Amino acid sequence: MQSVADGSQSSEVPNVLGDFALHLSAQRGLSAHTVRAYTSDLEQLFLFAQGQGVESYAEMELSTLRGWLAEMASRQLSRSTVARRGAAARTFFEWAARTGRIEQDPAARLASPRQHKVLPTVLAVNSAATLMDAARDLAVEGGPADLRVWACVELIYATGARVGEIVDLDVRDVDLDQRSVRVLGKGDRERIVPFGVPAAAALRAWLERGRPALATWSTADALFVGQRGQRWGQRQVRDAVHRLSAIAGVDDVAPHDLRHSAATHLLQGGSDLRTVQEVLGHATLATTQRYTHVSAERLRSSYQLAHPRA
Q: What angle do CA 227, 157, 296 make, to 5 degrees?
A: 145
Rounded to an integer, the average pLDDT of 104-110 is 90
Query: What CATH class is the domain 12-98?
Result: mainly alpha
CB within 8 Å of 89: residues ≥ 6 apart? 41, 42, 45, 65, 68, 107, 110
pLDDT above 90 covers a percentage of the chain that reads 48
Look at residue 131 and tell me whether its pLDDT is greater than 70. yes
The residue type at 80: S
Q: Is 265 a catalytic residue?
A: no
Q: What is the pLDDT of residue 255?
A: 93
pLDDT tens, residue by residue, 197-207:
999 999 999 99
Range with top average pLDDT, 46-50, 146-150, 232-236? 146-150
> One of 85, 259, 260, 265 is an active-site residue; which one?
259
pLDDT band at 3 (very low <50, low <70, confident <90, very high): very low
Q: Is 84 a catalytic residue?
A: no
Phi, psi of 53 (to 5 degrees): 85, 10
Q: What is the pLDDT of residue 282?
A: 72
The CATH code for residues 125-306 is: 1.10.443.10
> One of 101, 186, 191, 238 is an active-site residue; which one?
186
> One of 38, 57, 157, 291 is an active-site residue; which one?
291
Looking at the DSSP bridge assignments, the partners of residue 191 are 183
Q: What is the pLDDT of residue 197?
A: 93
Strand ranges of the sheet holding 190-194, from the earlier edge strand across to the other edge:
174-175, 180-184, 190-194
Look at residue 229 and tell me whether its pLDDT is greater than 70. yes
Q: What is the largest CA-CA distance in the chain?
A: 71
pLDDT tens, residue by residue, 161-189:
999 999 999 999 999 999 999 998 877 78
> One of 23, 256, 290, 298 is an active-site residue; which one?
256
The residue type at 50: Q
pLDDT band at 83 (very low <50, low <70, confident <90, very high): confident
Q: What is the pLDDT of residue 40?
A: 93
pTM of this structure: 0.63
Q: What is the pLDDT of residue 7?
A: 40
Rounded to an integer, the average pLDDT of 127-140 is 95
CB within 8 Å of 44: residues ≥ 6 apart? 85
Rounded to an integer, the average pLDDT of 263-287 is 78
Look at residue 149 and tell me whether its pLDDT is greater than 90. yes
Instruction: Compute CA distances 69 → 102, 185, 198, whole Å.
Output: 21, 31, 49
CA gap 271, 298 in Å, rounded? 17
Looking at the DSSP bridge assignments, the partners of residue 183 are 191
Q: Is 291 a catalytic residue?
A: yes
Look at residue 148 and tell me whether its pLDDT is greater than 50. yes
- Are 82 and 113 contacting, i.e. CB atoms less than 8 angstroms apart? yes
CA gap 245, 131 in Å, rounded? 7
CA gap 201, 26 in Å, rounded? 39
Q: Is 36 a catalytic residue?
A: no
Of 198, 204, 166, 207, nearest to 183 (Cα)?
166
Rounded to an integer, the average pLDDT of 267-276 is 80
Instruction: Compute CA distances 206 → 46, 113, 209, 225, 263, whole Å.
Output: 50, 46, 5, 11, 25
* Conformation bin of residue 160: beta by default, left when phi > 0, alpha when psi is -120 to 50: left
> One of 148, 211, 260, 282 is an active-site residue; which one?
282
- Are 114 and 83 contacting, i.e. CB atoms less than 8 angstroms apart? yes
Q: Is 186 a catalytic residue?
A: yes
Mean pLDDT of the chain: 84
Domain map (residue ranges) of the chain: 12-98, 125-306
Range with top average pLDDT, 4-8, 78-82, 293-297? 78-82
CB within 8 Å of 59: residues ≥ 6 apart? none
Q: Is 228 a catalytic residue?
A: no
The residue type at 219: T
> One of 148, 162, 231, 260 is an active-site residue; which one?
162
The three-state secondary structure class of 179 is coil
